[in-house]
Amino acid sequence: MFKKVLIANRGEIALRIVRACKVLGIRTVAIYSQADANALHVAFADESVCIGPAPALKSYLNQPAVLAAVEITGADAVHPGYGFLAENAQFASAVRAMGVEFIGPSVEHLRMFGDKLSAKAAARGAGLPLLEGSPGAATSMEDAMESAKRTGFPVILKAAAGGGGKGMRVVESEEELPRGFNLAQEEARVSFGNGDVFVERYLPSPRHIEVQIAADGKGGAIHLGTRDCSLQRRHQKLVEEAPAPNMSDATRKRICDAAVALASDVQYQTLATVEFLLEGDDFFFLEVNPRIQVEHPVTEEVTGVDLVEEQLRLAAGEGLSLTQDEVQISGHAIEVRVNAEDPWRQLPSPGPVTGYHEPGGPGVRVDSAIHEHAFVQPYYDSLTAKLIVKGRDRNHCIERLLCALDEFVVEGIQTSIPLQRELVDGAVFRESRMYTRYVDSFLAERSGKK
């Protein structure tokens, strides 16, 4: 096992990684920007190094500064968390070139899954169901039109280098295609420096279902069940749960087997999430997230597996700690992301926290990076804490969650909690009828009523 892990991240995930390392007897190094000198992840790590000024480009995304911190602290592994440099193949390669382990997939797999077209090709190779569309990048407007007509409208145009919704455009008809194609291509070029765009059949109201997998790099792979992340706004997830509700056992088995087949086929190593769109009993491969995800705790709560520990062991070459038969899903877990934002307008709400009380009681877990004297920085993502609640079944979990949300006090800044409380208390969520555009329609209806 590693002796000293440098955590190339901040906030709740940095703290989560510190905790997993401590349990395994690994020393931890925090890196921090000048704005984060008083942050909790710095306080709880064994060592810390300031790597630059507040803006992420000058600190957490500044590769030479992060690599210098690795060098001077003598860390033998780097955990990138999520976001920042977690899926950066160049960074992973630079870390490994120093003889230090990057706790994540190989550079080859980061490249494979960083490009949506090569990810789809890998999924096709492993026999996963895909949405019809262009065979590769649409090289011209004519090419895109030909694929769209063959697929049938509506179609969606997606940037090959995209992800998280950037560079996507829905096109309803032939007439709209030229404009949509040019806009998508331009947005892809500006955002990613790669204008490749592909065509896919558009599903108007699918569910977003994902499967957690863990793999040993030698073709051995297991899944840790499903999550439903359909409650999103502007591609930011608001509520996630495990297992995905309202799915037949047969569909659940097929989707989990598909995710394992892909991981096994490409000889993947470490953790990943395989994302799908689900419509009725049909599911379609979307993309692979080759990292620990924000919503990993709901899977931990229903499987009893510490995913960050598992990730550390896999990176150290120790292999999987359990077999597929040993993965047992029990009960239900829901996570609410506590974002520092105006819940109705989704505008960031940074500033000093003046009062803070975390909920408690059975089945309640809070992964947080704030406290009653914290300052929420304006420079970074607005995620400040995650409330994860477990119950014996979904209804029990919802009741516990509502109590916990009512107890959760954060003063001085606005949080997303009031919106999430209304969402999880509503009939659509209670009856597991969520779909990807549901939050938008909920908000449109709500503002109409006021």
| Phi (first) and psi of residue 204, to 5 degrees | -70, -40
Nearest distance from C-beta of residue 154 to ligand MV4, angstroms: 9
- Whether 96 and 104 have beta carbons less than 8 Å apart is answered as no
Q: Does 200 bind ligand MV4 (CB under 6 A)?
A: yes
- Whether 20 and 79 have beta carbons less than 8 Å apart is answered as no
Is the bond preceding residue 243 a cis peptide, omega within 30 degrees?
yes
253 to 292, contacts with ligand MV4 by CB under 6 A?
277, 286-287
Complex with ligand MV4: residue 414 or 436, whichever CB lies closer: 436
- The alpha carbon torsion through 247, 249, 251, 254 (nearest 10 deg) reads 140
List the one residue out of 164, 163, 180 whose CA is nearest residue 172: 180
Is the bond preceding residue 290 a cis peptide, omega within 30 degrees?
no
Kindly state the greatest CA–CA separation across the chain: 62
390 to 429, contacts with ligand MV4 by CB under 6 A?
none
List the one residue out of 240, 255, 245, 250 whose CA is nearest residue 286: 255
Active-site hit among 291, 337, 394, 400: 291
Q: What is the DSSP string of 271-318?
A: EEEEEEEEETTEEEEEEEE-S--TTHHHHHHHH---HHHHHHHHHTT-
In the chain, DSSP finds a helix count (H) and a strand count (E) of 15, 20
Q: Does 304 bind ligand MV4 (CB under 6 A)?
A: no
Among 156, 242, 374, 443, binds ligand MV4 (CB under 6 A): 156
Complex with ligand MV4: residue 227 or 365, whichever CB lies closer: 227
CA distance 104 to 36: 25
Q: Is 234 a catalytic residue?
A: no
Q: Does 150 bind ligand MV4 (CB under 6 A)?
A: no
Complex with ligand MV4: residue 82 or 202, whichever CB lies closer: 202
Nearest distance from C-beta of residue 385 to ligand MV4, angstroms: 22
Q: Does 436 bind ligand MV4 (CB under 6 A)?
A: yes
Q: Does 439 bind ligand MV4 (CB under 6 A)?
A: no
Applying CB under 6 A, the span of 75-83, 200-208, 377-385, 402-410 interacting with ligand MV4 comes to: 200-208
CA distance 418 to 223: 34
Among 165, 304, 352, 361, binds ligand MV4 (CB under 6 A): 165
Complex with ligand MV4: residue 281 or 326, whichever CB lies closer: 281
Nearest distance from C-beta of residue 295 to ligand MV4, angstroms: 12
Applying CB under 6 A, the span of 106-114, 199-207, 313-321, 340-348 interacting with ligand MV4 comes to: 199-207
Among 203, 320, 329, 428, binds ligand MV4 (CB under 6 A): 203
C-alpha distance from residue 130 to each of 200, 404, 435 (Å): 9, 39, 19
DSSP H or E stretch at residue 197: strand 197-201
List the one residue out of 213, 134, 135, 219 whose CA is nearest residue 177: 134
Could you give the string, one character per residue 219-248, with x where binding to ligand MV4 holds by CB under 6 A and - elsewhere?
-------------x--x-------------
Among 202, 408, 438, 442, binds ligand MV4 (CB under 6 A): 202
Complex with ligand MV4: residue 65 or 286, whichever CB lies closer: 286
Applying CB under 6 A, the span of 64-72, 183-191, 202-210, 211-219 interacting with ligand MV4 comes to: 202-210
Nearest distance from C-beta of residue 135 to ligand MV4, angstroms: 15
Which residues are identified as catalytic?
A: 291
Question: Residue numbers of the site for ligand MV4 (CB under 6 A)?
Answer: 131, 156, 165, 200-203, 206, 208, 232, 235, 277, 286-287, 436
